[in-house]
Amino acid sequence: MLAATMLLAGCGSVDGKRDGGPVAGPAPAPTGAAVVDGPPKLGAPFTVAGTTYTPADIADYDDVGYASWYGEELAGSPTAIGEPFNPDGISAAHKTLPLPSYVEVTALDTGRTILVRVNDRGPMVNDRLIDLSRGAAQQLGLNGGVAAVRVRRTNPPMAERAQLRSGGAVAERLATPDTLLVLLRKKLDDKPVPAGMASATASKPTPSAPAPGGDRFIVEGPGAKPAATTAPKPAAAKPAPAAAGSYAVQVAAFSSEARANAAAKSVGGNVVKAGNLWRVRMGPFASEADALSAAAKAKAKGFRDAQVQRNR
């Protein structure tokens, strides 16, 4: 038998660019070799920026965190189990799951869920849970750099396994119910938020933006933590009768138009362009009570910073 050189391609990516360092792992597969599922491999513990990860075979693995993705720059390079990386395939890198294994990945801003084959180690950064291939990110609708996700290990049928091994995608799973999404997003409170995931309100609003302090926003989805703003408290006075349509609900704002559209659809709102962002609003409403009721519905769907605004 020929001796094999062991190589593990660690990864951590944002916007499709992956970084990493070599660690011991299986040898690359021959070019053009058919991809098969051999016995799952774990590998030795490894350390990323002072944190040690120990691969483990956990059948009911289920966690939330942040996903990044990587693409063309590593096309054809060997993954941790020696398979050539296919950026258009539906695959992923994970720090501890057996290689290969299969997971359902859910986008926590839309509820969309896809099946993914894990065949690599990574991401090699501590604030991200999984690195998706470009194909997986596109199927899930993740067009930005980092997004909040749920990763749940599963045992799919052999036909679906074969489809993923061949580089193809399988049908999306049923969308995750809104009630469950709220609970999953809540679990993100204990997770480190990747740099650039949330952004503070601009100090100089555009003409279409509300007054300072009246527009907090989430850049990449309701799971991110927006920067706090200090809006003046309304004076304690008897409210005057409101004109028709004088109230609205500011739900969130996104750096991605696609995600803004998905959020607007989930709350029955509309999308308004504001500089480099897309704002999601509900209304207008004839009364403050109607607007407060709409804001409560938006918060129940995970948009915890939804707030009522009075049009002037």
Q: What is the CATH number of the domain that holds 157?
A: 2.40.40.10
One domain, residues 175 and 206: no
Residue range 273-300: mean pLDDT, rounded: 84
Q: For position 208, what pLDDT does the model report?
A: 34
Please tell me the least confidently modeled range out of 125-134, 225-234, 257-266: 225-234
Report the domain count for the chain.
2
Judge contact between 104 and 154, C-beta under 8 A: yes
Asked whether residue 275 is domain-assigned, the answer is yes
One domain, residues 102 and 50: yes
Q: For position 251, what pLDDT does the model report?
A: 86
One domain, residues 111 and 148: yes
DSSP tag of 165: H
Q: Look at residue 248 and tell me whether its pLDDT is greater than 80.
A: yes
Closest CA to 97 of 54, 140, 156, 149: 54
Asked whether residue 181 is domain-assigned, the answer is yes
One domain, residues 183 and 204: no
Range of the domain at 78: 8-29+38-190
Share of the chain above pLDDT 90, in %: 37
Specify which residues 84 forms β-bridges with.
Answer: 78
Residue range 39-53: mean pLDDT, rounded: 92
- 276 exposed, middle or buried (CB, 10 Å; 0-12, 13-18, 19+)? exposed
Q: What is the CATH number of the domain that holds 276?
A: 3.30.70.1070
Tokens representing 47 are: 């350390």
Strand, coil or helix: 19? strand
Considering the entire predicted model, what is its pTM?
A: 0.57
Which residue bears the tokens 């990516």? 13
DSSP tag of 98: -
Q: Look at residue 29 and tell me whether its pLDDT is greater than 50.
A: no
Which residue bears the tokens 């993954």? 79
Judge contact between 100 and 118, C-beta under 8 A: yes
Compute φ and ψ for 299, nearest 5 degrees: -65, -35
Judge contact between 213 and 231, C-beta under 8 A: yes
The distance in angstroms from the start CA to the end CA of the chain is 79
Asked whether residue 287 is domain-assigned, the answer is yes
Closest CA to 122 of 182, 76, 172, 68: 68
- Spatial separation of the C-alpha atoms in residues 101 and 98, rounded to whole Å: 6
- Spatial separation of the C-alpha atoms in residues 159 and 28, rounded to whole Å: 25
Give pLDDT tens digits for 98-107: 999 999 999 9
In terms of DSSP bridges, do strands 247-254 and 101-107 run parallel, antiparallel, or are they unpaired?
A: unpaired
Judge contact between 247 and 309, C-beta under 8 A: yes
One domain, residues 158 and 302: no
One domain, residues 17 and 164: yes
One domain, residues 221 and 107: no
One domain, residues 16 and 157: yes
One domain, residues 179 and 220: no
Q: For position 312, what pLDDT does the model report?
A: 54
One domain, residues 51 and 140: yes
